[in-house]
Amino acid sequence: MSKITTIRLPEQMREQLETQARLEHRSLSQQIKENLKIALAATANPDLPLQFIRDILEAKAEKETGGAVPFEI
């Protein structure tokens, strides 16, 4: 269950998030959630490159939505 949380963002940060949201076809709220998920994963795994973390999260999402196909040799 989600709870409503209000945060204050500098105008420049909000504009950057809105731009990212438009490019990714997300709402501002969804974009903030996505960025927080990546930031939390990066903080928990400081030894991993950011792009690697993004790729892992993307693969996990693909698996959860049924988009992943098992690799067969």
How many other CB atoms are there within 10 angstroms of residue 4's CB atom? 5
70 belongs to a structural domain = no
19 belongs to a structural domain = yes
pLDDT of residue 64: 87
29 belongs to a structural domain = yes
Q: 40: closest CA among 50, 27, 26, 25? A: 50
Alpha-carbon span 21 to 32, nearest angstrom:
9
Helix (H, G, I), strand (E, B) or coil at 7: coil
Domain count across the chain: 1
Mean pLDDT by 10 residues, the chain (73 residues): 90 96 95 95 95 92 84 84
Whether 21 contacts 30, CB under 8 Å? yes
22 belongs to a structural domain = yes
pLDDT of residue 20: 95
21 belongs to a structural domain = yes
Domain around 47: 11-64
Q: What is the pTM of this model?
A: 0.78
Q: Which residue has the tokens 């940060």?
A: 13
